[in-house]
Structure 1
Amino acid sequence: MTEKTGISYIKGDATAPQGEGVKVIVHICNDMGGWGTGFVLALSRRRPEPEAAYRRWHRERARNDFGLGAAQFVPLGDRLWVANVVGQRGIRTGSKGAPVRYEAIDAGLERVAVKARELGASVHMPRIGCGLAGGTWSRVEPLILERLTRCGIPVTVYDR
């Protein structure tokens, strides 16, 4: 385990967070309702609830807060939650660049911070926004530091 700037970096699987206490697994979703590649596949192999909740949230978006920057919290028992954070526009790189939307990740992390404080939880994640979304960790890490670790919320980032 290495710790840098308040974030613990470990080798492991973010779908099976380590440590004691209540945990929130954070990952990034797109704004199109698509769920089928990247980290979400590993998540769905462990538990069906996050995918089912995300698809319902997207399907009923005319009547809820679904959209860039929103976060949906799915309980997986008393001590484990998944945060579906809408932080990418679409699924492909195009004329407007990569799908990642840093401002949406920032807004979603602010919502995660509120929920983590409410639950007394630590936060666990892969390098969000840096896989298929096309983001860079040098842009995402400062958002995590500002929204989570600066507020005293323990964060663990898992590298496979």
Structure 2
Amino acid sequence: MTGTGTITYVRGDATAPSGKGRKVVAHVCNDLGGWGKGFVLAISRRWPAPEAAYRAWHRERATNGFGLGAVQLVQVDRHLWVANMIGQRGIRTGRSSGPPVRYEAIDAALETLGGHALGLGASVHMPRIGCGLAGGRWEAVEPLVTARLTGRGVPVTVYDHG
């Protein structure tokens, strides 16, 4: 385990968060309603509710605030929630122009998530959000996590698989 600032980095599975107390597993979703590649598959293998909630949230998006920067908190166990954060515009295709990650949307979602985590008294657990299929760079995401979460007193653990 190594700590950089106040983010703790560990090898492991973010869907099996370590430590005691209330926890939120945070991840980035796209704004198209697509759920089927990347980290979401690990979430769906462990809990069906986050995918079902995300799909319903997208289906009813005209009336519920679904969009870039939005956060949906889904309780999956007594002391465990999954945060579906919309931080990706579309998906990467063969002819896409640049990566689908939207740092400003991740920043807004992390700000909201920080308030939820503080209200719940929860720690936040995540992979390197926005850096897989979304195509982002951790060097750009890490300062957002620090500013919006650890800088406000929310403990964060980042999981590197394997």
Q: TM-score, normalised by structure 2?
A: 0.97
Q: Which residue number in structure 2 is paired with residue 129 of structure 1? A: 130
CA distance in structure 2 between the aligned counterparts of 1:10 and 1:110, rounded to whole angstroms: 23
Question: Secondary structure at 2:81's aligned position in 1?
Answer: strand
Amino acid of the structure 1 residue aligned with 2:37: T
Gaps of 5+ in 1: none
Q: What whole-Å deviation, never above 9, does each CA across 1:112-147 have from its counterpart, x for those lacking one? A: 001000100000000000000000000000000000
| Matched residue, 2:76 | 76
Structure 1 letter corresponding to 2:31: D
Distance between the aligned counterparts of 2:58 and 2:42, measured in 1? 20
**In 1, Cα distance between the equivalents of 2:77 and 2:116?**
15
Q: Give the deviation of 1:5 after TM superposition.
A: 1.1
Identical counterparts, % of pairs: 69
1:58 and 2:72 equivalent?
no
| Structure 1 residue matching 2:74: 3-state secondary structure | strand
**Structure 2 residue identity aligned to 1:85:** M
Question: CA-to-partner distance for each residue in 1:25-81, whole Å, 9 max, x for gaps?
Answer: 000000000000000001100010000000000000011010000000000122000
SS in 2 for 1:58: helix
* SS across alignment from 2:128: coil
Aligned residue type for 1:129: G
Q: Counterparts of 1:76-155 in structure 2 under 5 Å?
A: 76-92=76-92, 94-95=96-97, 97-155=98-156
User: What SS is found at the alignment partner of 1:51?
Assistant: helix
- Whole-Å Cα distance in 1 between the matches of residues 153 and 117 of structure 2? 10
How far apart, CA to CA, are the structure 2 residues paired with 1:18 and 1:5?
19
CA–CA separation in structure 1 for the residues paired with 2:113 and 2:153: 13
CA distance in 2 between partners of 1:104 and 1:113 (Å): 14
Aligned partners of 1:101, 1:144: CA distance in 2, in Å?
Answer: 14
Secondary structure of the structure 2 residue equivalent to 1:63: coil
Q: Distance in 2 between matches of 1:56 and 1:133?
A: 22
TM-score (norm 1): 0.98
Number of residue pairs the alignment of both structures matches? 159
Structure 2: which 5+ runs fail to align?
none
1:20 alignment partner AA: K
**The residue matched to 2:33 in structure 1 has which SS?**
coil
